[in-house]
Amino acid sequence: MFQAQAQIKRILAEADVEINGSRPWDIHVFDQRLYPRVLGGGALGLGEAYMDGWCDAQALDQFFHRILLARLDKKIGLSWPLVTSRAKAFVMNLQSRSHSFENGTKHYDLGNDLFCAMLDKRLTYTCGYWKNANNLDEAQEAKLELVCRKIGLKKGDRILDIGCGWGNFLKLAAEKNQIEGVGITVSKEQVALGRELCKGLPIEIKMEDYRDMNWQFDHIVSLGMFEHVGVKNYRAYMAKVSRLLKDDGLFLLHTIGSNDSTIATDPWVAEYIFPNSMVPSIAQIGRSIEGIFVMEDWHNFGADYDKTLMAWFGNFDRNWPAIKANYPGYFYRMWKYYLLSCAGSSRARNIQLWQIVLSKKGVAGGYQSFR
């Protein structure tokens, strides 16, 4: 026990984090079993210990910012949960058609009350664009309008939104650009509320896997869904999108991005937040589009995810008393850990946010970038 504590203390010192210190980012330990649990279980051990109340920090986002900026996640070494998750991902296709609806059931179907309490007024569950925004509503509106400009929306266009959530993008595009749209999601709760929110507009929202889609569209967008596709399916995904896209259309891919290529996600995230997910790297996306698409534009505004996540947590924390009766006792600490650890990761530039514009044959005369 003491040896494990000394080792953790030595590692944390590299990020200027103290055990039971007085600064907002210092970690406070309430159960000495934390130390061997973290050394043996890595990210999963730390996350579960936090959920169990064994440790805390006044500013959890600042704690994660410091440890990830110092790359302390690399200093712990391979934990057994990380080894097993990578082995499982190597052997199995965790994002196959048979697994595709698990994220809907385990995450997006948690409850519309949760997401209404946390998100902006349009229910946009992806990174906002804060360039000229003063609050979350403005940042999300700016992001959706940016997508419209990037794909050159015009009246009468027929748009496919892969992973449409509650229909926020299609609703804005129909209201402001008079388009027709089809949105697909793996969440029955999103379908139910999304249809209600888009009532009266030429928008169809369906519960469907992208592999089962047909027809062709003028443009296609996918905002925050690619993280559920899996590297074993990237090439097939791009080929499918190409078949669904008209020859002169554009495909906009909005995805969290990783600085490193991997095949599995953080074990704690996989267990409690997004099962069967993984974040793509530049190299993995590059291989998936080669010979299928022309890359017209690659825009990174990953630092904006920090602001978005902190705004989400502020809303969640403020509105928690109104919805807490609908969730188990551990849920608040689990969700707080999820939002603030991701905020710290984004602040440390450990994760990115990319918007990539792709064409089938190249835009004649060149593509005009929008920022």
For 41-59, write each residue's pLDDT tens digit.
889 999 999 999 999 999 9
Query: Is 91 contained in some domain?
Result: no
Which of 41-45, 54-58, 73-77, 108-112 comes out lowest in average pLDDT? 73-77
| pLDDT of amino acid 2 | 77
Average pLDDT of the residues in 296-318:
98
Looking at the structure, do residues 177 and 269 belong to the same domain, yes or no? yes
R_g (Cα) of the chain, nearest Å: 21
Query: Is 316 contained in some domain?
Result: no
**CATH number of the domain enclosing 108:** 3.40.50.150
3-class state of residue 53 by DSSP: coil
Domain C-terminal end among 77, 105, 125:
77
What is the pLDDT confidence band of residue 92, given thresholds at 50, 70 and 90? low
Summarised one tens digit per residue, pLDDT across range 7-20 is 999 999 999 999 99
Average pLDDT of the residues in 121-128:
98
**Tally of domains within the chain:** 2
On the question of pLDDT at 89 being above 90, the answer is no
| pLDDT of amino acid 82 | 47
Average pLDDT of the residues in 225-234:
95
Structure tokens that stand for 168 in this block: 């926020």
C-alpha to C-alpha distance for 67 and 340, rounded to whole angstroms? 13
Give the bridge partners for 256, in sequence order. 353
Summarised one tens digit per residue, pLDDT across range 187-215 is 999 999 999 999 999 999 999 999 999 99
Looking at the structure, do residues 148 and 274 belong to the same domain, yes or no? yes
Are 336 and 162 in contact, with CB atoms under 8 Å apart?
no
Query: Is 326 contained in some domain?
Result: no
Residues of the chain above pLDDT 90, percent: 85
Average pLDDT of the residues in 356-366:
97
Establish whether 127 is a catalytic residue.
no
Given the residues 55, 127, 198, 342, select the one marked as catalytic.
342
Looking at the structure, do residues 51 and 108 belong to the same domain, yes or no? no
